[in-house]
Structure 1
Amino acid sequence: MLRANTLKTLVRPAFLSSVAGLAIASPAYAQDTETRIETDAEAVAEADAPAIIVTGTRQSDRSAADTVAPVDVVGSAELNNTADADIGNVLRVSVPSFNVGTQPISDAATLVRPANLRGLSPDNTLVLVNGKRMHRAAVIAFLGGGISDGSQGPDISVIPSIAIKQLEVLRDGASSQYGSDAIAGVLNFILKDAPDGGTVSAQWGQTYEGDGDKYSIAGNVGIGLGSTGFLNLSGEYGEQDATVRSVQRDDAAALIAAGNTDVADPAQIWGQPNVNDDMKFYANMGVDFTPEISFYAFGNYAERNVDGGFFFRNPTNRGGVYEGPTVDPATGQPLAAADGGVPSVLVGDLSIDTAGDCPAGIPLTNGGLIPDPTILAQVSADANCFSFVELFPGGFTPRFGGDVEDYSAAAGIRGQLFGGLDFDLSYRHGRNKTSFSIRNTVNASLGPNTPTEFNPGGYAQTENVVNLDLGYEIPVGGGSIYIASGAEYRDEEFTITAGDPASFALGPLAQPSAAYPTGQGFSTSSNGFPGFATNAAGSSKEDNKAAYIDIEADLVDALTLQGAVRYEDTKSFGDTVTWKLGALYKLTDAWRLRGTYSTGFRVPTAGQANVINITTQFSNGELQDEGTFPLNSAAGLIVSDYVAGNDVILLGDGSTGAGGVRPTLGSEKSDSFTLGVAGDFGDFTVTLDYFNIKLRDRISRSSAISFPAALCYLADVDGVATGCPANYNDPDETLPSPAELLTQLDAAGSLNRGDFTGFEDLVSFSYFNNDFDTRTQGLDFVANARLYPFESGTTRATLAINWTDTKVTDAGSTISATRQRQLEEGLPQWKGFLNLTHEQGRFRGLLRANYFGSYYEAHLEDSTLPIDAGAELTFDVEAAYEVLDGLELAVGAQNVLDNYPELNPYSGIVGAKYGERSPFGFNGGNYYLRARFQW
């Protein structure tokens, strides 16, 4: 029976005093046994029995203690007795090698946060639900802190924790068993399957700062279907308010001090986003047709709205919106700085006549911070003249977000035929769709006619998987050999939906173009997140066919052997064969030695191979537009020629890489090795496992490369006269704008201008390729102890420690030094926790200490803003009491001592009080109350 929690008080000081003294914790992290909270002796005995697992093995009766590779089992109680409803945040303190960040300003990654297992990219982890491959999210994480850049993994946050019976974490390469992606390991979420009973819970919490309020209401119910079936339903609904961990930006503070009363304070918000209408639903069912044959089905529906902040647009110098030429301070007409010209705010001539009466710019006074009031009044009074200080005099900060929708359905039939042939035939369909939105922004090229809210379009990912698995056990002497084989067909489709026309329009005040050859220097598209133009919209498909054989042999009591081989063939990236060998040897009744060696692979997703995207990033001290192009696109061909044709290519962070090799995109390959020892002494178990993963030709986005330089290279090759300097790879040279170059190259016949709609303001570009190799090694240590300090009580202790070290062993031509350091040091090398749980009568409690080691952050992805953050120790507590039979009340706190990361030494640049990559977040402590009823 699940416990209930005690509500001592709603007042924070009393709350803290009531929980700080409790030696307690949420249900222990389980290595070789599943953890449950039970009361009667029979249930406790069941909870302490070895956990039967289905991950990493094809046999139905294998325990976690007898697998050739480490499999951790996290029970339902631990997943639900926590401050968070987001399963990613729960796993961050339940699986030591699992990391997920807050993602405050990360474009699409804010909507679907990328998560890392064992230090690798999110799409190096295979996610299963009931043993079946989960579909990917539509979102590609273009801003992933170096490690997750360009990743496209599943969105596990759509799984309500109340639906999960147990989570099995296979910490081993498993491509030969499950296919592409299973390089770092496998997360297998096993859904509840009870035919009766149920749970209803409600939880509310907020941060110690008084913001970030969040609540969730969840329920689970089991329904019998006749005498041989079940239907288990789970649902959750909740919302989460934003947090603010900002200081005023230095430039915004200077504007206010100079007299601009329209600047917000803070001008830019750093914190977790708003999550609205977060609904999650899962259904799981099964019916036995006969004692040997059963039908099963499961599926989900989830949706949520996410809304977060973007970078502040300074009303004096945001390029393409506010920043004008140097002008005569008396007239606002162009005048070189050397001749006394001063900075200005850009003015557009709405008559599309640049020889008209409008000044070129409104001179900036008060040290370049305040538009000259006289000339500003002249511009405002003239219907043909316009400046954005009329619309947003204090600048503006876009709000970016979107709607995420996710659904899936799976069905299958399994059982045993011919007295011993196991079979499982299944089909699964899944779809994830993200529709982006951006507001409080402009398409500057439209002038005063611009909307301030846009629908920039969206992404969708659709997948279908058909599986057939067969297995047969052959008795051999005193043991047996289990032979499994099967086949799989999987297809995926990635779709880009165009935005509304205004989100990518090339308006009359734009940079020079064929339609507006004179140009006026205003940027196109929705500022901050340009809409997907019609030339970017469309669908891309990929498919995969596979066959495997997997053998497990228990020939003698002390030895288990495993071998697997898999063949896969993809439509676009060829075929591959992967294999695995593993063994477990029982040294004594208590000690086991285990190890594996495996090869693995991952093919690019249809999205990674074909996506077109433009995002706004902070680079080299200012906001810049960066594009991502597929290599098979018109822009990608220029990219390919530029990279191959130059001895040196200029990376976006100012560093250089050797050129001369035409970029391609293909599969990445891995070699994995594990070796471990496990000891079981009844009330005490311990495991220590070493892993080593070598990844070749890793799939990722290149570092940013100068887009104007690539266009200058095309002009040079084609002999087109432009304003490009002779050495366009020199970072000190000033290059023409992309819009000017595109117009000139189009006129000369070097490209089709229409292929580059929406790219007029790009400063840099990147593309997906296979450009570097890494080696990731580490240790996982887990120890469990069960104690009986009181006659009727039980205390459990779990210590789990992970050490992970990644090195870039072969850096290619398009990976910057900053990116290399992010890959090697962007996550803590050391991470772990100590859980203490106590159960006595109607009371239970938790005390958990979480350790996060030191890490490196390139603040704003800028190598000149390094943050070397130190280690941090946080504590979580929870106390619960069953006030009535089945009704539990709980009070708890996460990060009870209110720890924060180190203060950001560059906070004045964009207002971030703390670094954005903290492994435990930057919101400080939060407390929560929960009521739960179970029957």
Structure 2
Amino acid sequence: MNQFNRVPLRTFALVPLASLFFSFAASAEEVRQVYHIAPGPLDEVLLDISRQSGQVISFTPQLGNYSSARVDGSLSAQQAVDAALKGTGLHVQVSPDGAFVIKEGAAKSAQATSSVKAQTSAAQAPTLDRVVAIGTRRSDATALTSAAPVDVINAAELKQTGATSLNQALFQLLPSFNFPQNNSATRGQDPKGASLRGLSPDQTLVLINGKRRHTSAVVNISGGVPFIGAQPVDLDMIPISAIDHVEVLRDGASAQYGSDAVAGVVNIVLKERDSGGGINTQLGKYAQGDGFSKTTDGWYGIGLPGDGFLTLSFNTLNNKPDDIGDKYVADGQLQDPRWGGAGRDKYNLAANAEIGLNDQWRLYSFATFGQDTSVNNTPPLLASSPNNVASIYPGGTIPKYRYRYEDGAVTVGTRYEDESIGRFDLSATYGRDEHDELAFNTVNPSYGANSPTKFNVATLVNDQTNITLDYAKDLDVNWSSHPLTVSAGVAYRHEQYRLEAGDYDSYSYGGIDNVQVGAVQASGLTPDDAGTFKRDVGGVYFGLENQVTDKLQVGVAGRTEHYSDFGSATTGKLSARYDFTPQVGLRGTINNAYHAPSLGQIGTSWTTTTNLDANGNPVLTRMLPADNPAARALGAQPLKPEKSTNYSLGLVLRPTEHASLTIDAYQISIRDRLLFSGGISGPLAEQILTNAGYGQYSWAQFMTNAADTRTRGVDIVGKYNLDLAQFGDLNLSAGYTKARTTIEKVHENPNGFEVLTREARGFIEHGYPEDKLVFGAVHTLNQWTIALNQTRYGKYRKYAAAEANAQYDQVFSAQWTTDLDVNYAFTKQLRVSVGVNNLFDSKPDDFNSRLRQTPGQQYSYLSPTAPEGAFYYTRLSYDF
């Protein structure tokens, strides 16, 4: 066979059993089978066709860079391959021994030349492209032919990062993805969401196989951290081993997917394997000598009836705590409490299944379950503190906090497809996230020597049920040789959020005055804070997409959703793309989006008893729900959804089939952003509260629609694949993002209280790197694969809470990190990797001591990288 793309003669002869080849090859055109193969990498689709039909198909490894169209229906092997090759510019030749050989260029047979359209569209499907399901209802859209920017990250790229969680892997790979990676103390145990374009993680919608994912039960109420008030989806509850690829839509998409899709959408696509499997184990440790980590993950595929599959996946993680704390002097002694990443035990499970009932009707289901338990130190309780109980802790103590998350979801659904009536997808999803907190090595000093030393602090539970019916059909139209894709759907969602009180001893008064009431560092949730919140959401949507000409495509979508607790919201989206040549395209979108307040944001309440007044009554500080009468007295208003207007304009360049460059500029204007108010206290607040009958409160805070903001930025992504002949293949990538958010308007409190603190303003406008630059290179030569990534995080700032302390504002300098992964394949099944994240042990600037929340906090919670520095690991992988 001739060489393909200057690659040395290397082809795959694919046949399940050699004896089957001779019987199937002679009758490949006559024998038909039912295929239901989703769009994906062309090499994988051809493997599926070969496995199902028994037909030998020979091709080069470079076909993995092409994207296959959907293969569906009762087809011969030839027809199935033709369907997979549609739009790629490739064609099939039959060798003298009956094998199918995939070739470049126009086909010579009448069958292959019957469609001029397929040949002329070859330039529109470059080798770097991938079929995508996000942001469109078309079945042939790809990342580089879409009207909105989409990133596609495959399983191999996730693994090469050496990351032990999905959040960390995406953070290393995507320029537009940001989330602080400082895991010190309890702040690092909060869920890690998907923050795109400098916006809050709950302004990005997360889907699993195209279905809405439930959020965590935890609302971020920690001080000194960005995104206060956010209730995101916990990405780290999805095992990386279960993921086939991740699609990231960097564009507002509420009209297509509903609430939360303000900054974009992350769609996690699970593996669909009916045979084989793989297992990986990784050991790692920080160069500073701690944080030893052990991970194991794997997957296994089983065939099911009707060309079905069941793919099972898992991962486990155990890591020891690490220390990034700072020494300080207190009680006349040098204090060196451990302050760093938590000790953690974690496991995740996933299953993805599908069976075919007939040629048109298929059933599917997928499920995930995970548990994450972590333990970390909190600031020390010194021996000299009046809150220490000397009879229990004569030398003081370091209170510890244990977080435990249990997260699960299951989806069941059915798809029906008929060429005459269209495609239907009916599904139901139930998801649940439970979070409980326990503190130990601490005391409630108001109980003195009778105080317990372990307390259940709180339990938070978030439930969500989704039922959706989606429809799409391709209609022939007079004005275009391309079909008009019509889509519509209805959706129903039931949500429930529950707060359960902690142990009575964790918040109650034990009888001793002049000390703190409640557990130190762990005052529990009170019965007054506990409660259950529910709502129902119904919605309908409609969309149209059409490739009007070979150069012009347009799309329009609209959605209306009604919330039982705050009313209706309607959004729309208009998208268009024009390809001046096969190498140059211009794309743009205009849309409005919204983010409804989550039930956690509506219901979160937390009371702390600071002391007793002269009459023996507790003096309380409280984080109040916005509809609480005390909050209303202080000027709280009913919460409204955040609403945004999003403009995007992009340029797509494809100079060759091996190179691409996309440049996308955007503006996102958000009205009524949801944030916690500043802490309200002082004589005026006390007088208002006393008049309203809430004189026991000395300080209060509540969720509010605090401000209008505008985010402007640009994302640049380039890729170039080089064939180095006898020196292997080199895949290069580069990405750059720059974003800036400005506060356009602050919604003042009617009583004049501070709605948006100076510190909160800093988080919104400067609490993330002003830009991010990512370079990547993957070199493959024989058995060796070397992946190198270089990342630069731009400057960011931390503001002091009060204007009087503005001189302590800190600007953190830019930081470079280097990640290296070296992999050697002993066989096709057995591979070994050694690698290091942050090769040169780069660390962020030390945190100004005037801004720290505790003297031991050496690094800011805003740090985009893990302050622990270099992390070395080795990984063993075996496929079977």
Rate the CA distance shift 1:546–1:109 in 2: closer, same or farther, 3 A. farther
Q: Which residue of 2 aligns with 1:394?
A: 395
2:544 to 546, 551, 557: 551
Aligned partner letter, 1:266: D
Rate the CA distance shift 1:118–1:608 in 2: closer, same or farther, 3 A. same
1:266 to 306, 315, 336: 336
> C-alpha offsets along residues 784-833 of structure 1, whole Å, 9 cap, x if unaligned?
01112342510010001111111011123300122112210100011021
Q: Is the 8 A contact 1:109 1:144 kept in 2?
A: no
Rate the CA distance shift 1:86–1:121 in 2: closer, same or farther, 3 A. same
Q: Distance in 2 between matches of 1:34 and 1:863?
A: 57
What is the CA distance between 1:834 and its match in structure 2? 0.4
Secondary structure (helix, strand or coil) at the match of 1:64 reads coil
> C-alpha offsets along residues 888-920 of structure 1, whole Å, 9 cap, x if unaligned?
001000000011111234189612223232101
Q: Which residue of 2 aligns with 1:183?
A: 262
What is the CA distance between 1:558 and its match in structure 2? 0.7
User: 5 Å matches for 1:771-782?
Assistant: 771-782=706-717
Q: Distance in 2 between matches of 1:162 and 1:879?
A: 19
What is the CA distance between 1:311 and its match in structure 2? 2.0
What is the CA distance between 1:35 and its match in structure 2? 12
User: 5 Å matches for 1:777-788?
Assistant: 777-788=712-723
What is the CA distance between 1:418 and its match in structure 2? 6.6
Q: Which residue of 2 aligns with 1:458?
A: 459
> C-alpha offsets along residues 849-896 of structure 1, whole Å, 9 cap, x if unaligned?
111001112479986643210001111111111113310001000000
Secondary structure (helix, strand or coil) at the match of 1:183 reads coil
Identity %: 29
Q: Which residue of 1 aligns with 2:284?
A: 205
Q: Is the 8 A contact 2:713 2:740 kept in 1?
A: yes
Q: Is the 8 A contact 2:282 2:876 kept in 1?
A: yes
Q: Which residue of 2 aligns with 1:705?
A: 680
What is the CA distance between 1:306 and its match in structure 2? 1.2
Residue 687 (str. 1) matches residue 662 (str. 2): yes
User: 5 Å matches for 1:512-591?
Assistant: 520-591=513-584
1:632 to 615, 627, 630: 627
2:351 to 278, 283, 288: 283
What is the CA distance between 1:642 and its match in structure 2? 2.7
Of Structure 1 and Structure 2, which has the larger fraction of its residues in strand? 2
Q: Which residue of 2 aligns with 1:676?
A: 650
TM-score (norm 2): 0.82
Q: Which residue of 2 aligns with 1:932?
A: 877
Q: Distance in 1 between matches of 2:823 and 2:621?
A: 50
Q: Which residue of 2 aligns with 1:491?
A: 494
Q: Distance in 1 between matches of 2:646 and 2:237?
A: 30
Secondary structure (helix, strand or coil) at the match of 2:585 reads strand
User: 5 Å matches for 1:694-773?
Assistant: 694-706=669-681, 710-715=685-690, 717=691, 750-751=693-694, 764-773=699-708
Aligned partner letter, 1:910: P
Q: Distance in 1 between matches of 2:514 and 2:792?
A: 51
Rate the CA distance shift 1:547–1:285 in 2: closer, same or farther, 3 A. same
Residue 804 (str. 1) matches residue 739 (str. 2): yes
Q: Is the 8 A contact 1:104 1:270 kept in 2?
A: no
Q: Which residue of 2 aligns with 1:255?
A: 332
Rate the CA distance shift 1:906–1:763 in 2: closer, same or farther, 3 A. farther
Q: Distance in 1 between matches of 2:450 and 2:687?
A: 33
Q: Is the 8 A contact 1:163 1:192 kept in 2?
A: yes
> C-alpha offsets along residues 92-143 of structure 1, whole Å, 9 cap, x if unaligned?
1111111122354574762323442111111100000000000000011112
Q: Distance in 2 between matches of 1:171 and 1:89?
A: 18
Q: Distance in 1 between matches of 2:275 and 2:571?
A: 43
What is the CA distance between 1:290 and its match in structure 2? 1.1
Q: Distance in 2 between matches of 1:170 and 1:824?
A: 23
Q: Is the 8 A contact 1:106 1:144 kept in 2?
A: no
Q: Which residue of 1 aligns with 2:7?
A: none
What is the CA distance between 1:212 and its match in structure 2? 0.7
Residue 504 (str. 1) matches residue 510 (str. 2): no
Q: Is the 8 A contact 1:145 1:822 kept in 2?
A: no
Q: Distance in 2 between matches of 1:41 and 1:871?
A: 46
Secondary structure (helix, strand or coil) at the match of 2:178 reads strand
What is the CA distance between 1:666 and its match in structure 2? 1.2
Q: Distance in 1 between matches of 2:717 and 2:404?
A: 39
Aligned partner letter, 1:529: A
Structure 2 gaps of 5+ residues are 1-39, 48-57, 68-128, 611-618, 749-754
> C-alpha offsets along residues 703-722 of structure 1, whole Å, 9 cap, x if unaligned?
2222775333333x47xxxx
What is the CA distance between 1:146 and its match in structure 2? 5.5
Structure 1 gaps of 5+ residues are 1-31, 258-264, 323-387, 510-519, 618-623, 644-661, 719-749, 754-759
> C-alpha offsets along residues 586-614 of structure 1, whole Å, 9 cap, x if unaligned?
11111110000000111111111111125
Aligned partner letter, 2:846: L
Aligned partner letter, 1:695: I
> C-alpha offsets along residues 281-337 of structure 1, whole Å, 9 cap, x if unaligned?
00000111111111110001100101122122344356xx26xxxxxxxxxxxxxxx
What is the CA distance between 1:529 and its match in structure 2? 2.3
Secondary structure (helix, strand or coil) at the match of 2:309 reads strand
> C-alpha offsets along residues 37-77 of structure 1, whole Å, 9 cap, x if unaligned?
x9995332133443111000112221112211011100110
Q: Distance in 1 between matches of 2:637 and 2:733?
A: 48
What is the CA distance between 1:188 and its match in structure 2? 0.2
2:844 to 873, 897, 901: 901
Secondary structure (helix, strand or coil) at the match of 1:824 reads helix
Q: Distance in 1 between matches of 2:569 and 2:432?
A: 27
Q: Which residue of 2 aligns with 1:299?
A: 367
Aligned partner letter, 1:781: I
Secondary structure (helix, strand or coil) at the match of 1:275 reads strand
Q: Is the 8 A contact 2:167 2:236 kept in 1?
A: yes
Q: Distance in 2 between matches of 1:616 and 1:129?
A: 42
Aligned partner letter, 1:876: D
Q: Distance in 2 between matches of 1:599 and 1:187?
A: 18
Q: Is the 8 A contact 1:528 1:615 kept in 2?
A: no
Q: Is the 8 A contact 1:114 1:144 kept in 2?
A: no
Q: Is the 8 A contact 1:780 1:803 kept in 2?
A: yes
TM-score (norm 1): 0.77
User: 5 Å matches for 1:657-676?
Assistant: 662-676=636-650
Rate the CA distance shift 1:777–1:616 in 2: closer, same or farther, 3 A. farther
Deviates more, 1:795-804 or 1:860-869: 860-869
2:298 to 182, 203, 219: 219
Secondary structure (helix, strand or coil) at the match of 2:509 reads coil
> C-alpha offsets along residues 560-590 of structure 1, whole Å, 9 cap, x if unaligned?
1010111010011110110000001111111
Rate the CA distance shift 1:68–1:689 in 2: closer, same or farther, 3 A. same
Q: Which residue of 2 aligns with 1:831?
A: 772
Aligned partner letter, 1:542: R
Q: Is the 8 A contact 1:504 1:531 kept in 2?
A: yes
Q: Distance in 1 between matches of 2:520 and 2:529?
A: 18
> C-alpha offsets along residues 511-563 of structure 1, whole Å, 9 cap, x if unaligned?
xxxxxxxxx22222222121112222221102211000011011211111010
Q: Which residue of 1 aligns with 2:311?
A: 232
Rate the CA distance shift 1:803–1:628 in 2: closer, same or farther, 3 A. same
Q: Which residue of 2 aligns with 1:795?
A: 730
2:822 to 876, 879, 885: 879
Rate the CA distance shift 1:214–1:913 in 2: closer, same or farther, 3 A. same
What is the CA distance between 1:392 and its match in structure 2? 2.6
Q: Distance in 1 between matches of 2:689 and 2:639?
A: 22
Aligned partner letter, 1:310: T
